[in-house]
Amino acid sequence: MIKRIVLLLLVAVTPVFAGHANDDDFDFDSFAISDSVNADITTESHTLNPGAMPVAVSNFDIAGIMLGMPFESVVTLFADGGLYSPRANDAVVYTITPDWRYNLDYECQQQNIFVPEQLEQCVRTLAKNRGLMYASEYHLVRELTGETIDVYFTSNATDNTVWRIEYNNDVNELVGDAEKFEDQRQKKILSFWSGVLDKYGTPNSGTDTWVTSNNAYDPMMIAYYGALELVDNGRYATDAAKNVTDARVNFPAKPYAF
């Protein structure tokens, strides 16, 4: 089992500039907006196989998407069609991190806004105006085969770049109990795995993982039955820590005097 924990680090601070809750015409109902949650990320160290060399996992791609790519570049990659297209509903999901949401909630309450719907509108508008609402997910589908790609981005605090890519297909699915279906499943897995090895080479950590180093915060890729996960835990951790620190420093506390 892969052990997963939630990260909370502290790094440098960047100031955030003010905006106004009533000067925005963004139609929030037209977009999927979800609260950010602490991502469960793999922090288990991976040992290189005997005689294996580190791999430049940062150069890996899944359907042309690479770690560190800005959100706009990923969208542009699929703007003119191709193998994958944005899914029909909520292809892009926007997020406000919890620490900033709490800051903005407090600030809106200081403006005597307490009705839940109005409070949420105030929080979202301030977040958008200040760059605190960001595209956190982009979901793609290949209609011909049912393959999906889910792309996850850091916040605007660290330039809204890719930190995780998840690819899934149906090779591990069984459509019935008959022996033929298990035979078909095994052959689909073999075909998928052969393609993975052709593109990425032999795993250098265990039988299913490609690592940059023994450090779990460096880019790595893990293969599963019918799935790939390309991830940069360090990029996510840096972004999460920066948002926590920035939100603390920029909390709109009253000017207490004593």
204-228 pLDDT, tens digit each: 999 999 999 999 999 999 999 999 9
At residue 255, does pLDDT exceed 80?
yes
Torsion sign across C-alpha atoms 237, 243, 244, 245: positive
Is 256 a member of any domain?
no
Q: Compute the average pLDDT of residues 94-108.
A: 97
pLDDT band at 44 (very low <50, low <70, confident <90, very high): confident
- Is residue 243 in a domain? yes
Judge whether 255 lies within some domain: no
Residue 206 lies in a domain: yes
Asked whether residue 155 is domain-assigned, the answer is: yes
**What would you measure as the largest C-alpha separation in the chain, in angstroms?**
79
Distance, CA of 213 to CA of 197 (rounded, Å)? 19
User: Which pairs with CB-CB distance under 8 Å and at least 24 residues apart come from 250-254?
Assistant: 250/15, 250/16, 250/103, 251/103, 251/106, 252/103, 252/106, 252/107, 252/110, 254/110
Tell me if 62 is assigned to some domain: yes
* CA atoms of 204 and 214, how far apart (whole Å): 11
- Residue 45: predicted pLDDT: 80
- Asked if residue 254 is part of any domain, the answer here is no
> Residue 36 above 90 pLDDT?
no
Summary mean pLDDT of the chain: 88
Q: Is residue 228 part of a domain?
A: yes
Looking at the structure of the chain, the number of domains it has is 1
Q: Which domain holds residue 98?
A: 4-249
